[in-house]
Amino acid sequence: MKVIVPLDEQAGKTSRMSEHFGSAPFYAVADTEAGSFEIIQNTSIHHDHGQCTPADFFAELGVSALICIGIGAGAIAKLRMLGIDVYMASMATTLGEALTQFSMGTLKKVTPQHACQGHGCH
């Protein structure tokens, strides 16, 4: 399964997770079956609020899930429309922790009702 994790830095499995999905400087694209990942730059970091252009790119990659700390309702809705499930990893601080929690099945799937209501939400 391909999974996306928003990151603040490129430091391998110790990369800090970004608190905001759309404005994360980097994303990890992980293959949970192969146990591999690559970190890519967010080329849509300066998108209009509510447009969620990274979601379209992830759908093209065949991503099935997003693991995040914070995300808006519009982004959740768009990702779900594209067949990408969203999981909240509020207790994870690094890419490695998020992937471990995901593989253990301890992350909860989120809905637009669980979304951030602004940049001061967490």
Segment 48-66 shows an average pLDDT of 80
pLDDT exceeds 80 at position 118: no
Q: Evaluate whether residue 31 is within a structural domain.
A: yes
CATH code for position 56: 3.30.420.130
pLDDT in tens, 9-34: 999 999 999 998 888 999 999 999 99
So what's the pLDDT on residue 74?
A: 83
pLDDT value for 112: 60
Strand residues in 1-122 grouped as ranges (E): 2-7, 26-31, 36-41, 65-68, 85-88, 108-109
Q: Which of 42, 40, 74, 81 is nearest to 59 (CA)?
A: 81
> pTM of this prediction?
0.87
Q: How far apart are CA 112 and CA 94, in angstroms?
A: 24
Count of structural domains within the chain: 1
The answer to whether position 102 is within a domain reads yes
Q: Residue 121 falls within a domain, yes or no?
A: no
Residue 44 pLDDT class (50, 70, 90 cuts): confident
Q: Which amino acid is at 81?
A: M
- The pLDDT value recorded for residue 51 is 53
Q: Is residue 122 part of a domain?
A: no
- Residues spanned by the domain of 41: 2-113
Does the residue 119 lie in any domain?
no
Question: Helix, strand, or coil here: 32?
Answer: coil
Q: Is residue 14 part of a domain?
A: yes
Q: Give the mean pLDDT of the chain.
A: 86
pLDDT at 81: 93
Give domain status of residue 53, yes or no. yes
Residue 11 lies in a domain: yes
pLDDT at 119: 45
